[in-house]
Amino acid sequence: MKNLNINHRKVETYEVLELAGELDAHTASKLENTLKQLISQKKHQIIVNCEELDYIASAGLGVFMAYIEDVRSMGGDIKLSNMNPKVYNVFDLLGFPTLYDIVQKEEQAIQKFQTDESE
């Protein structure tokens, strides 16, 4: 079992979470606690960079589903970037591309936020 490491940084006004390792039933609480903390601080423009994420299980997907409505009700969103094909396939099989903006590069997620704000 691999661990999940989360590096949190700020880019402009956006919160970027870099995930590395495996997101599964054993590690999902780490992401859940990070998202709860951001929401409690009214930080609701979140980019999750999955470049170093090797594996995701249903428990990890559940964390995203649990918090997306809270974030959107605050006028924000969770955008996902930099997924490897294996991780993207899991999201795709479960229909996540219709619910989330999933982009190839972090910069594209920032551009989507800026486009959303100007509409």
Mean pLDDT of 77-102: 95
- Answer whether residue 19 shows pLDDT above 70: yes
Strands (E) across 1-119 are located at 4-11, 14-23, 45-56, 77-81, 101-103
- The pTM of this model reads 0.95
Residue 1's pLDDT band (boundaries 50, 70, 90)?
A: low
Residue 88's pLDDT band (boundaries 50, 70, 90)?
A: very high
How many domains does one find in the chain? Answer: 1
**Domain containing residue 71:** 4-113
Is 119 among the domain residues? no
Give me the CATH number covering residue 54: 3.30.750.24
pLDDT tens for each residue of 24-76 = 999 999 999 999 999 999 999 999 999 999 999 999 999 999 999 999 999 99
109 CB-side CA count, 13 A = 28
